[in-house]
Chain A
């Protein structure tokens, strides 16, 4: 899993060294890591709806790896952005405060940090499953902000970001429709256990 997810990094490095990133390699690398972040986060959020629809259990098992890979690409995306701004934190702060497009992307990244930090089984135990689940619902906010960041960053052709937004909306809808009826039963059983 992880090896497959990191394959694009190897390709990116190879492309950078061979000149295949084109005339503006930094911009290309920024775009590519941004897209990879979005794809991986969408895939990780697709796991639960997929399980709900099919009853398969394997999507739930790869969910964490996909989420962490997504976070990894988000961090790389941010590092390349910082490199592009010569690691000038004043410039970065100004960007975050003044430009909604950067604000959305940066907030999404910040929201992913606690999720990555609490991705261990120990963290689940410490927080308790219910609180852990609630915390990890931030992933929905983060991925939506990520799609908004992409939409606002595009100059004119908005088709690709709208495709991501549509997929995310569909995933939310499946959860909503599938979870709703079962909800009272589940919370009931959990309350009985505790």
Chain B
């Protein structure tokens, strides 16, 4: 290691370099025993490697799960049944990946936080408050709510606004079935969803990263669309905490953040709800959040995405590939403005 030393350093003759680049410290009484010298440089070398390497690792490494842990929990990749009309036949994302790579800021902002901390969430007992512009406002237990409908499997693509995607085998019921059962009044134009607010169960809510509780919303016609889904399970199992137990929304043609998790309240409203991400950064996240490769995020293009489990990128499809089903909902709207 030779370095351009500043003049100040050069005025302090603390050491001296031999032609082979070795440094000898000349202190009174030091003996230049080569063996001792070798031991000393070996110790110094090991010390430096360990200190710098270890320090850098501690400061910057964010390890995920090992592949052994990964393979330990993969029950099955798709429900044992013929494909339904809304299912995709694309390869389903593994249970392990779908449950360890999550955005759920109620637990923390790192994608590994939800899986690590999900045990603090207690999905039973759980009640959901249903109110607003409905003829039958009520507070209902999750198991009763679930028993109202026959549960279905749906294999949907999910596209995150950050540019990655998964294929998720959900278990649940159509949102439309729930809304019809609530009997909306003629004033109802929007559906507002509210997630649980509880810093004991959601340690991430101690930080005001977002305005808690998390709120999302849909226009009533979007909510009534047959693709809109309420999930209570994943990969044929009960929904894990990190994926939004016990009840979450799934709207597959919108960016993932619309799919609010751990819902405790559903309110039908006359006015468009103030949704969490649209409040946090209105220039980046709109109310509609339809997957749209033509409208870039201010910090990255939305033209491509990485399917989790693949290294390369694929082209993002308008409305996440569901344009035939849902494009009609937005006829006459400028989707560059209503992003």
Q: Which 6 A-B pairs have the closest CB atoms?
A: A22-B64, A7-B53, A19-B67, A4-B52, A23-B101, A4-B49
B9 beta carbon closer than 8 Å to chain A: yes
Q: Which residues of B contact A (CB under 8 A)?
A: 1-7, 9, 12, 14, 45, 48-54, 56-57, 59-67, 70, 97, 100-101, 105, 109, 111-112, 162, 164, 207, 209-210, 280, 296, 298-301, 306, 308-309, 311-313
> Can you offer 12 A-B residue contacts whose CB atoms are under 8 A?
A7-B52, A11-B61, A20-B67, A22-B101, A23-B101, A24-B164, A60-B3, A98-B296, A101-B299, A152-B299, A153-B299, A156-B109
**In the bound complex, CA of A91 to CA of B52 (Å):** 36
Whether A26 and B60, one on each chain, are in contact in the complex, defined by CB atoms closer than 8 angstroms, is no
Whether A57 and B64, one on each chain, are in contact in the complex, defined by CB atoms closer than 8 angstroms, is no
Given A8-B61, A156-B105, A156-B280: A129 touches B7 (CB 8 Å cut-off):
yes
**In the bound complex, CA of A80 to CA of B14 (Å):** 42
* Chain A nearest CB, measured from B3 CB (Å): 4
- Pick from B3, B9, B12, B301: contact of A64, CB below 8 A: B3
Whether B4 and A64, one on each chain, are in contact in the complex, defined by CB atoms closer than 8 angstroms, is yes
Given A7-B49, A156-B209, A157-B209: A23 touches B56 (CB 8 Å cut-off):
no
Interface size bucket, A side? 35 or more
Whether A5 and B5, one on each chain, are in contact in the complex, defined by CB atoms closer than 8 angstroms, is no
Inter-chain contacts of A99 with B (CB < 8 A) = 298-300
A63 beta carbon closer than 8 Å to chain B: yes
Query: Of the 9-residue stretches A31-39, A106-114, A139-147, A168-176, which lies at the interface with chain B?
Result: A31-39
Residue of B nearest to A35 (CB): B60
Given A22-B101, A35-B60: A27 touches B164 (CB 8 Å cut-off):
yes
A121 beta carbon closer than 8 Å to chain B: yes
Inter-chain contacts of B311 with A (CB < 8 A) = 25-26
* Chain A nearest CB, measured from B51 CB (Å): 7
Inter-chain contacts of B6 with A (CB < 8 A) = 60
* Chain B nearest CB, measured from A46 CB (Å): 12
Inter-chain contacts of A95 with B (CB < 8 A) = 300-301
Whether A22 and B1, one on each chain, are in contact in the complex, defined by CB atoms closer than 8 angstroms, is no
Whether A4 and B50, one on each chain, are in contact in the complex, defined by CB atoms closer than 8 angstroms, is yes
Residue of A nearest to B6 (CB): A60
Given A22-B101, A57-B12: A121 touches B210 (CB 8 Å cut-off):
no
Inter-chain contacts of B66 with A (CB < 8 A) = 18-20
Residue of A nearest to B112 (CB): A22
A1 beta carbon closer than 8 Å to chain B: yes
Given A20-B65, A99-B298, A157-B109: A4 touches B306 (CB 8 Å cut-off):
no
Whether B59 and A39, one on each chain, are in contact in the complex, defined by CB atoms closer than 8 angstroms, is yes
Given A26-B306, A64-B1: A156 touches B210 (CB 8 Å cut-off):
yes
A180 beta carbon closer than 8 Å to chain B: no
**In the bound complex, CA of A111 to CA of B62 (Å):** 28
* Chain B nearest CB, measured from A112 CB (Å): 17
Q: Which residues of A contact B (CB under 8 A)?
A: 1-8, 11, 15, 18-28, 31-32, 35-36, 39-40, 57, 60-65, 84-86, 91, 94-95, 98-99, 101-102, 119, 121, 124, 129, 132, 152-153, 155-157, 190
Whether A60 and B9, one on each chain, are in contact in the complex, defined by CB atoms closer than 8 angstroms, is yes
Whether B299 and A39, one on each chain, are in contact in the complex, defined by CB atoms closer than 8 angstroms, is no
- Pick from A6, A19, A84: contact of B313, CB below 8 A: A84
* Chain A nearest CB, measured from B61 CB (Å): 7
Inter-chain contacts of B308 with A (CB < 8 A) = 23-24
Given A22-B112, A26-B306, A57-B12: A155 touches B50 (CB 8 Å cut-off):
no
* Chain B nearest CB, measured from A130 CB (Å): 11
Inter-chain contacts of A57 with B (CB < 8 A) = 9, 12, 14
Whether A20 and B64, one on each chain, are in contact in the complex, defined by CB atoms closer than 8 angstroms, is yes
Whether A124 and B4, one on each chain, are in contact in the complex, defined by CB atoms closer than 8 angstroms, is yes
* Chain B nearest CB, measured from A56 CB (Å): 10
Whether A32 and B62, one on each chain, are in contact in the complex, defined by CB atoms closer than 8 angstroms, is yes
Whether A23 and B100, one on each chain, are in contact in the complex, defined by CB atoms closer than 8 angstroms, is yes
